[in-house]
Amino acid sequence: FPGLFHLILSNLAPSLPLQEDFVYHWKAITHYYIETSDDKAPVTDTNIPSHLEQMLDILTQEESERESGETGPCMEYLLHHKILETLFTLGKADCPPGMKQQVLSFYTKLLGRIHQPLLPHINVHRPVQKLIRLCGEILAAPTENEEIQFLCIVCAKLKQDPYLVNFFLEVRMMSIRCYHNRDSRVHLYSCFPLSVSQDGRIVVKACEGLMLLVSLPEPAAAKCLTENTELCELLTDRLSAFYKALPMSMDPLDIETVESVNWGLDVYNMKDDAAIFTGKRALISFLSWLDYCDQLIKEAQKTAAAVLAKAVRERFFVAVMEPQLMQTSEVGILTSTALLNRIIRQVTSEALLQDMVYFLLGEEKGPETLASIAQNPLRHRLIEHCDHLSDEISIMTLRLFEHLIQKPNQHILQSLMLRSLEERNYLENKPQEEREPVENGQDLEEDPLFGDDFSPENKLSSPDWLSNSATHSPYHAKPDGKTEVHKIVNSFLCLVPDEAKSSSHVEGTGYDTYLRDAHRQFRDYCGICQRWDWRGTPKAMEKCDLDGPFFEGHFLKVLFDRMGRILDQPYDVNLHVTSVLSKLSLLPHPHMHEYLLDPYINLGPGCRSLFSVIVRVVGDLMLRIQRIPDFTPKLLLVRKRLLGLEPEGLNIDHMTLLEGVIVLEEFCKELAAIAFVKFHASASTSP
């Protein structure tokens, strides 16, 4: 009853000086070990927890009564008499049973309550290091909660004062390597393994602690963390294990629509889930850990982030995902492509995105050639899958690229398109008088189909990236910027002949419906691209290598080939092909704009542009229309069915062709809207 006796005495007698009170409580603890022979009784049956709590209260009170930064006699006593060292020894022996828990709690509260810096003191950071080594010796131990609380408060202190990490670097980051030799349990720099705990709260705290540590700005800490520990292996091995636990076959729609996953809120109750599907629990676990890796790399110090991202690339993407993407099983290809698409959508950290892009597309930056497209097998395979025999695989891969080209990474667009257009050698390199008549729709001013009258008062200054192109040479000199954009807009709107149009018969399907979306999407693209070193005007003709052979690049080649077959492909495939091409057309790069949105450029021999591809499709359409009786009524009926204005009825002949014509008309309207919006945005910012 000594604790109770002291409590009564303190209420009756005058208060002792704080130091005497502090020493009393400490000696009461040491006397217990001298006087007690029964070391089997749990610590909760003794007064030790009460004495430790009283010591903490005294230290807190002492600090509050003194000026900031001043060390009081009680704290001096704790440091001088190495009380923390003694407590560590008692905790390590766990005598009496439960003492380890009490010691962990004391350390945690001491570091958390005392504001003055304690860790720089040798009699603090040395026992702290030793206690860190003690953590994790037993998995799922009863002290697990106290261990993670202790580790996290140390992490928080290091985050608050990053220079403190140098006190721990002397011992190789708290002997983490020694720790990992003990079956990969936990030390300060591997809070990670506690994420295997069955207690979700422990998992979150462990991950939070590790995230604090990787964000420390000290380069030495980042180097030690990534080079002297197995952090990279632990992160990527777990990511790989979650991926390998997924079913071999999954519905792509399930993968795409499963709810957003936040690593700290991975709470899933299978019983309450009405949208359960096979593998959902495994998928959520994988996406949750992917989100954690992504956020960890985003928060990490720059050099640490680069090392971690490279590890994910080599140990997960290359080692685990690439074989799945390169397989020949259509079911396997579809599932792995859908998972890759979901990963692309989810990754937000700059470093991880960069390494993922290098994995998918390679690091080459020079012009593509037809002979070199197979040098990167994975890139080649993915692009070829956009034109796969399986429509499902084609659609999923097109969706993948549609998401990829919208990510904030310059190398994606450089690799897929821009490197092939840099020299502008798609343009004809001949004087006007030596040119042969063209048939692909480049020279449209003489074509009555594209003629139009424009009032001379419609004059606006033309923006650089729209006006300084090949179209404004002596054979196509138009200083009137507004006239030019209207000619381009009408060129696209008039591409599909009137007898093949059906939107005018259905309300709310005019060209203007695309303007709002085009404006929003172009604004978003400009926000992404504005920090890149893109040129504002096309490369000067005299500086271009126009004599070199032109190859549009593997990606555009496949898209143009698909576009050329729009009348013979399923409706859903056509929607995705045109969606990707419209996204590319929105890019605020002068060469992409010229190549995809300018109908008037003079293409070199054997070259094609988006406009010339569509012109050939329209030519084929005009011939095929003649062979289909009641073409226009059938076309209108198909459009109304697609819009849900007519119920499904009897099958209609030439359904694929009719749906293709509708997609073609809508795509031309969308391109016209994009051209108009890009001109308007540029004109409003030009001087």
Q: Considering only 468-477, 487-496, 556-565, 660-669, which range has the smallest mean pLDDT?
A: 468-477
Is residue 442 over pLDDT 60?
no
Q: For 394-404, how does the pLDDT look when each residue is reduced to its tens digit (9 = 90+)?
A: 999 999 999 99
Query: Taking the model in full, what pTM does it have?
Result: 0.81
Helix, strand, coil share of the chain (percent; to 5) = 65, 0, 35
Average pLDDT over residues 19-26: 94
- 3 state SS of 264: helix
Taking the alpha carbons of 340, 342, 343, 345 in that order, is the dihedral positive or negative?
Answer: positive
Taking the alpha carbons of 231, 234, 235, 237 in that order, is the dihedral positive or negative?
Answer: positive
Per-residue confidence (pLDDT) for residue 629, from 0 to 100: 92
Is omega for the bond preceding 14 within 30 degrees of 0, making it cis? Answer: no
Q: Where in the chain is the domain with CATH 1.25.10?
A: 12-172+183-215
Quick one: DSSP state of residue 645?
Answer: S
Total residues found in the chain within this entry:
687
Q: Which of 376, 383, 418 is nearest to 400 (CA)?
A: 383
Q: Which amino acid is at 510?
A: G
What's the chain's Rg over C-alpha atoms? 35
State the CATH class of domain 12-172+183-215: mainly alpha
Highest mean pLDDT (candidates 96-105, 114-123, 314-323): 314-323
Q: How far apart are CA 500 and CA 652, in angstroms?
A: 16
Average pLDDT over residues 45-59: 95
Per-residue confidence (pLDDT) for residue 17, from 0 to 100: 84
The share of the chain scoring above pLDDT 70, in percent, equals 81
Per-residue confidence (pLDDT) for residue 344, from 0 to 100: 97
Average pLDDT over residues 172-179: 36
Is residue 583 over pLDDT 90?
yes
Per-residue confidence (pLDDT) for residue 205, from 0 to 100: 79
| Separation of CA 593 from chain center | 27
Is residue 146 over pLDDT 70?
yes
Cβ atoms of 26 and 47 within 8 Å: the answer is no
Q: Is 68 left (phi over 0), alpha (psi -120 to 50) or beta?
A: beta
Instruction: Quote the tokens at residue 566.
Output: 């729009």
Q: Which amino acid is at 352?
A: L
Q: Which of 611, 601, 607, 661 is nearest to 634 (CA)?
A: 661
Confidence tier at 266 by pLDDT (50, 70, 90): low
Q: How far apart are CA 657 and CA 653, in angstroms?
A: 9
Q: Which of 486, 478, 465 is nearest to 676 (CA)?
A: 486
Is residue 450 over pLDDT 60?
no
Taking the alpha carbons of 266, 272, 276, 279 in that order, is the dihedral positive or negative?
Answer: positive
- Structural element, H or E, at residue 488: helix 481-493
Question: With helix as H, strand as E and coil as C, how does 202-251 read?
Answer: HHHHHHHHHHHHHCCCCHHHHHHHHHCCCHHHHHHHHHHHHHHCCCCCCC
